[in-house]
Amino acid sequence: MKPFSNKALLFAALGLAVLYVVITVLHKTEVLNDYIMRIIILMMINAILAVSLNLINGFTGLFSVGHAGFMITGGYVAGFITTLVFKITSETPYAAALPMFILAILAAGAVSGLVGFLIGLPVLRLSDDYLAIVTIGFGEIIRVIFNFISFKVDRGGWVQDVGGPRGLSGIPLLSSFTVVFVVFLLSILIIRNFIYSRHGRACIAIRENEVAAHLMGINITKYKVMAFVIGSTFAGIAGALLAHIIQMLHPTMGGFMKSVEYLIMVYLGGMGSISGSIIAAFGLTAVSEFLRPIGELRMVLYGVLLVILMLKMPAGIMGRKEFPFLVPLKERQKHVKN
């Protein structure tokens, strides 16, 4: 790796480090209270979801409307591991719980990725419209499955029914700002590295002209599945983080409605833009907190937003542009020349 040949990246890295320190300090001194920290964490989680969905929909040109299903699969897996397997409670010291949490996150990603693979393989040959329906259906199936799975847990003295229609509750609060920040940065970095490589180029080629890509020697099914699996893996990771900040999960959270919210973030931000997804995710999360008082009306506005977006600004906010520090040095130099 040549980390220091890229000045902009260096500045960005420094900037992020500074940001991290500032936020942590502000939090410790109570300037930023817990409520705001929670929103910041949610923003980052949603950004991971938006960027991973963008990889599937925006860069590879597929049309998955079931991202929330992967998210919630990851969430449940992680939740089950921390509550049932490791039996972490609010009493457990954070230092001891952290490695188990990381394990849970990795497991969540792995399972979601596996599910993505199993679904993707047969289904990704289908055209847009069918894929949309199948992915919506997937979300519903997940909801049904998680509605169905329930365990009886021995809580020392009494037996509790966990899972099923009641959802999963009592998940320990393990998603700290640090953990989420690090996972967020890693996720963005990995996805960005994927995009700016021959694999990413193959995916974009598939989006642009699938037939031509196929005839230029690219195994299109392999790459569609690859993008889908990577996207679903990160959705699962985000789900694990989400479960451990809102501390509960319910099967309905993996449904169509939630998937559409992520879809909005992707299309609002711009279909081929990582930066756009991040901005849109941050923005939408913040806005929906603001709009919380008006409750359901918020969802109505989302619907209108989607329609108007498609009619007036289909390229989204950023279109295909990126923040400079995300684009590799060589690429950026090239664009500057022209």
Partner 1 sequence: METFLSQLIFGIQRGTVYALIALGYTMVYGVVRLINFAYGEVFMLGAFISFFLIQMLQLPPVLNIIMALLVPMALCSILGLAMDSLAYKPLRSKPRLAALITAIGVSFFLSNLVSYIGAESVRTVSVLFIITALVVVLFTLSQKLFNFPKVTRYGGISMVKRVVVVGSLGLLGFVFWIAKPALAELRWKGSSFTAFPVDKLFTVVKYPVFGSVYITNVQIIIIIVSVALMVGLSILVNRTMLGMAMRASKNNKEAVSLMGINVNSVIAFTFAIGTALAGAAGVLSAVTYPRITAFMGIQPGLKAFIAAVLGGIGSIEGAMVGGIIMGLAEQFAIGLAPSSFGPNNIDFTPLAEGVSFAILIIVLLLRPQGIFGEPPQDKV
Partner 2 sequence: MLRIDHVTHYFGGLRAVEDFCIDIAPQQIIGLIGPNGAGKTTIFNLITGVYKPTQGKISFEDEDITGKLPYKITQHGIVRTFQNIRLFSTMTVLENIMVAHHYRMKSGLLSSLMRLPSFTHEEEDTEALATKFAKIFKLDDVLNVPAGSLPYGRQRRVEIARALVTEPKMLLLDEPAAGMNPKEALELLDLIKQIAIDFKLTILLIEHQMPVVMGVAERIHVLDFGKTLAVGTPKEIQNHPKVIEAYLGEGAKI
Contacting residues toward partner 1, per CB under 8 A: 63, 65, 122-123, 126, 128-130, 132-134, 136-138, 140-141, 144-145, 147-148, 211, 256-257, 260, 263, 267, 295-297, 299-300, 302-307, 309-312, 314
With CB under 5 to 8 Å by kind, the binding choice for 205 among partner 1, partner 2, none is partner 2
Q: Using CB under 8 A as the criterion, what x/- string covers residues 211-250 for binding partner 2? A: xxxxxxxxxx-----x------------------------
Instruction: Enter the tokens of residue 272.
Output: 């081929």
Give 32's contacts (C-beta < 8 A, 6+ positions apart): 23, 26, 40
85 binds, among partner 2, partner 1, none (CB under 5 to 8 A by kind): none
From the list partner 1, partner 2, none, which binds 338 (C-beta under 5 to 8 Å, kind-based)?
Answer: partner 2
What are the CB-based long-range contacts (under 8 Å, 24+) for 8-14? 8/324, 8/325, 8/329, 8/332, 9/325, 9/329, 11/325, 12/325
CA distance 167 to 80: 11
Binding mask 162-201 vs partner 2 (x if CB under 8 A, - otherwise)? ----------------------------x--xx--xxx-x
Tally the C-alpha atoms within 13 A of residue 18's C-alpha that lie toward its C-beta. Answer: 6
The entry of partner 2, partner 1, none near residue 27 (CB within 5 to 8 angstroms by kind) is: none
In 3-state terms, what secondary structure has residue 156?
A: coil
Answer with the entry of partner 1, partner 2, none that 134 interacts with (C-beta below 5 to 8 A by kind). partner 1
Q: What is the distance between the alpha carbons of residues 59 and 272, in angstroms, rounded to a whole number?
A: 5
The C-alpha atoms of residue 267 and residue 277 are separated, in whole angstroms, by 8
Instruction: State which residue, 152 or 334, has the beta carbon closest to partner 1.
Output: 152
